[in-house]
Amino acid sequence: MVDLDGKDILITGGTGSFGKKCTEIVLDRYEPNRLIILSRDELKQAKMKSRFSPQEHPCMRYFIGDVREKDRLCRAFTDVDIVIHAAALKRVPAAEYNPIEPIKTNVMGGSNVIEAAIDRDVDRVIALSTDKGANPVNLYGATKLCADKLFVAGNNYSGQGGTRFSVVRYGNVVGSRGSVIPFFLEKRETGTLPITDPRMTRFWITLEQAVDFVLNNLVRMEGGEVFVPKIPSMEITDLAEAIAPDCDHEIVGIRPGEKLHEVMIPRNVSRRTLEFEDYYSVLPAFRDWDRDGYQKENGGTWCEDQFRYGSDTNEHWLTAEEIRDMIGLDDEEYSRPDGETRATAAE
């Protein structure tokens, strides 16, 4: 685990689900010199400040700013050691309807982060990505794929001994804003859950696991890797059954921009992917990258050609009990619309 004691850390998009959990974990485990939350929403910052106040945590700083503004990033990144780039526009339907906006934030904003980090001599930058950035079928995924490539190539601009950039790619986060789980929890009170396609599968990870994975890779990163955790999959129907076992299912069809299954490592990058016990590391495609030296220093086993890490071919599948534990619910919380518990109704 990385030692963040005495470090100056900045989280872009820090008032989001990841940023708040990351702040909680960093304050619990470490004593950073500064922990800076940079976001554009003053209301969310006010709410977050009431939970992590500078009075109780003197290291906390709250900066209003947007990754679209490079000048603001240059000022904010002054004397910062580590940047965790979590800012993004990620709602798939909204991105399809307003395509220029996610391009400005996810692509051009990522470029601004890279240039500001290099100009301010930031030591390490790790950017959060998504399974939707691998072989994308929607604009959000396309912007994240573009951003991933920018951060991997950012090491070319910083040069040897300069700022290091890497990417972390993971699947759906349990309970995060935009996740299907809060939607199912709300809809279960109607007695019917809308299901896009009963064959659909997704990767799942908890917020704490996501934060741990990011912090661990701050140590591992040499610059240019895309880190992918080994996390479980679940069929959408099993998820619905775990959350609301007595609800009916209404098949509504796959929405525009959705996949039947998600992929985190496509076949076309398998030849430069190393497998470790609990994660994969996709190395950059540059010819001067010493892949054999990287393996010798870090370990791992080269994946077979045409290997694919998809939610439908995963070796680890969540049970109903496991997903309930991840969500933090028990049987007494599965209430019917009339207030009677599902457990009572089944007796």
Over residues 152-168, the mean pLDDT reads 94
State mean pLDDT over 175-204: 84
The enclosing H or E element of 198 equals none
Work out the mean pLDDT of the chain and round it to a whole number: 90
The string over 202-240, giving b where at least 16 C-beta atoms fall within 10 Å of a residue's C-beta and e elsewhere, is bbbbbbebbbbbbbbbbeebebbbbbbbbbbbbbbbbbb
Tokens of 300: 């791992």
How confident is residue 298, by pLDDT bands cut at 50, 70 and 90? very high
Range ranked top by mean pLDDT from 30-39, 86-95, 156-165, 281-290: 30-39
- What pLDDT is stored for residue 150 in this prediction? 98
- Which among 7, 90, 132, 187 is annotated as catalytic? 132
Average pLDDT over residues 334-340: 40
Catalytic status, residue 47: no
pLDDT of residue 231: 96
Determine the pLDDT at residue 343.
Answer: 33
Average pLDDT, integer, range 329-344: 42
Residue 319 has pLDDT above 50, yes or no: yes
Identify the helix (H) or strand (E) that includes residue 65: none
User: Is the distance from CB of 121 to CB of 161 less than 8 angstroms?
Assistant: no
pLDDT band at 154 (very low <50, low <70, confident <90, very high): very high
CA pair distance 343, 324, nearest whole angstrom: 14
The third-level CATH classification (topology) of the domain covering 8-346 is Rossmann fold (3.40.50)
Question: Over 70: is that where the pLDDT of 178 sits?
Answer: no
Helices (H), the chain: 17-29, 42-51, 70-76, 92-97, 100-102, 109-119, 139-158, 180-187, 207-220, 236-243, 291-298, 320-327, 342-346
pLDDT single digits (tens) 238-295: 888 888 888 989 898 887 778 899 999 999 999 999 999 999 999 999 877 888 899 9
Whether the per-residue pLDDT at 334 is higher than 60: the answer is no
Confidence band for 336, pLDDT divided at 50, 70 and 90: very low
pLDDT number for residue 242? 86
> pLDDT tens digits for 17-37?
999 999 999 999 999 999 999
Mean pLDDT: which of 65-69, 135-139, 169-173 is highest? 65-69
Greater model confidence, 279 or 324: 279
